[in-house]
Structures are given as C-alpha cells and as structure tokens.
Amino acid sequence: MHSYLRAIGFSEVTDRIELEKLLGIIIDQPTEKKVYNMPNNKVFTEITKLFSKQMGITLRGEIDSNGKFYMEHYFPFYKSQYMSTKEETSIIKRVDAEAYTGMCDDVRLGVSLIFYLQNVVDYFMEGKNKTDRPFPIYLSALSISGKIILPMELDEKLAKNNSADVQYRRQLIAEAKKGNQEAIDSLTIDDIDMYAMISRRAKVEDIYTIVETTFTPYGSESDNYTVLGTITDMDTLINEITGEEVYSLMISCNDVIFQVVINKKDLLGEPVVGRRFKGNIWLQGNIDFNSEKCLN
C-alpha cells in the first residue's frame, strides 16, 4: 500500500481488495496512456487517471504482444503548472523498479535538490540525449503530516535587509562552487555567526520566530524533506471517487516555489495565504524535456 495515497484523497483504501478495485478503475478508464518501445523489445507503459484537477495516480509496467498490461508499480501524484526552477538535471534510475529521480543544484537552497520523476516516458523519448542543458522543472509534493504556523512579524526595513542578505549569500554560494576560497571562507564565517545567533536567541524565543523557512532532507529516502514555507496561494480539491477534500498549497520556501498537496484530515490548523506550512513531504517533479526554453 502506497503511503501517500491518502494525500490525494484515498485515506479509506487500506487493504489489497480496495486497492485492486482502484487500480482496475485506472486501467479501464485511463485519462492518459503513454508507451515507449524499449531496446529490449519491451513496451514500457504509463497509465494515468486524474481524480481531480492535476491530481491522480500513474501505473507503470509493460504491455505484452497480446496487449495485456502487467503493472510493475504505481504512484500518486500532483502535476504542478508552476515552473519552480530551471537547471541542468541528472536523471538516476532506482535499483528496485523502473523509476527515476532527478537531481539538480539550486543556489537558493544551497543543497542538491532531489525529486521523484513523474514523466519517465517523456524522458525516454525526449530527454536522454539532452542532459547537458537546463530544463524547466515543475515541482510538487505530497504530504501526510503537516501543520499551519503563523507568519513572522517583519517590518518593511527588516524585510529589505533580509532580501539583500539572501542575494549576497547566493552570490557567495555560486562563487564557492567555482572554487573561490574567499567565498568559501565567508560562508564558513557566516554559518558560525548564524549558529551563535540562533543558539543565543533560542534560549528566550521560539525557534519559528527566528527561522522563517527551511528545506531539510528527511529520513532515509533521498526525495523526502521537512519544509517550512509561506503559503502564497491555495485551492481546495475534491477527489471525484471518494469525495474527500484535499488542500493544494502554493509554498514559497527559500524563494523556491512549489505546490504541496495534503488531505484535509492530515493538516492541523487553517491554511490561509500569508501563514506558513510545516510538514514532511515527498518531492516530485515533472520536467519539460521538449520545451523550446531548453534551447535558449
């Protein structure tokens, strides 16, 4: 049973019989089907069904010579319409299934960004020979545990100072990646000063009044993160099969914008634009391998 089925409104699918019924609906009434003829004469297939706007389940597997589909695995998803970043991306195959993860560097985060690739057939058809150029990446995430936190109180002057500091830090990170020793030393000193400041203030203040956003790897899976970000937009989706309500939250985290989908049952608090979302997420990405933007 996939842990994140409940994130898209299938919290009541708890046993194999209910799951098989759901998978049967997807196979019999697909929204989209993509196929790719592999070099080993296998026909790799993605079968997708939407259960609300941009939200659904994809089955992956093979089709034999008689047209029968054999499922290898499935995953719930939300397909974002917002381009989160544009970077050169490494695509890496997982060892246990015909599934892939994307990895790129984004100076806004300061760490490598790793996500589950939603559109593998597109990668086979368009992306394998284009790995040396930046791609538009549309990030989304599923969550089964989250809470709403009030925003930090910032005056206009402090907000401008923070923005300037962030831009300067990004420049230092970019220079450090090129091997600039002065930039590396400056970042090291800044980190030491920041750690001392946080340690001092945390004795008398709540940590969430000091730290506005975070993006931190979580657990043993490379595409799982703990995030704290500001809600910039939101929508409520209804699963057309179960009727469960699901929140789609546009989150700004370290200036990286992506959408988080979470079941209303699993979110503590009332989401409002301007408040912050804190939770554990499974990060996914849809890469536009065929966009003309890739050529610019």
Is the Cα torsion angle 130, 136, 142, 147 positive or negative in sign? positive
pLDDT of residue 277: 96
Residue pair 169/190 in contact by the 8 Å Cβ criterion:
yes
Predicted pLDDT of residue 294: 44
Determine the pLDDT at residue 206. 80
Report the pLDDT value the prediction gives residue 213, as an integer from 0 to 100: 86
Please list the pLDDT of the chain residue by residue as tens digits (296 residues): 788 999 999 999 989 999 999 999 999 999 999 999 888 788 899 999 999 989 999 999 998 878 889 999 999 999 998 999 888 888 888 887 788 999 988 767 767 889 999 999 999 887 666 666 788 999 999 999 999 999 887 666 655 656 666 666 667 767 776 788 887 788 788 888 878 888 888 888 887 887 888 888 888 888 999 999 999 999 999 999 999 999 999 999 888 899 999 999 999 999 999 999 999 999 999 999 876 544 44
pLDDT of residue 104: 87
Residue 163 parent element (H or E): helix 156-177
pTM of the predicted model as reported, rounded to 2 decimal places: 0.85
Classified as helix, coil or strand, 53 is coil
Nearest to residue 213, comparing CAs of 198, 201, 229? 229
pLDDT of residue 65: 79
pLDDT at 129: 66
Rounded to an integer, what distance in angstroms lies between the CA atom of residue 46 and that of residue 36? 9
- Residue 295 has a pLDDT of 43
Q: Identify the pLDDT of residue 101.
A: 93
User: For residue 293, what pLDDT is reported?
Assistant: 47
Per DSSP, the residues of 176-212 read: HHTT-HHHHHHHHHHHHHHHHHHHHHTTTS-GGGT--
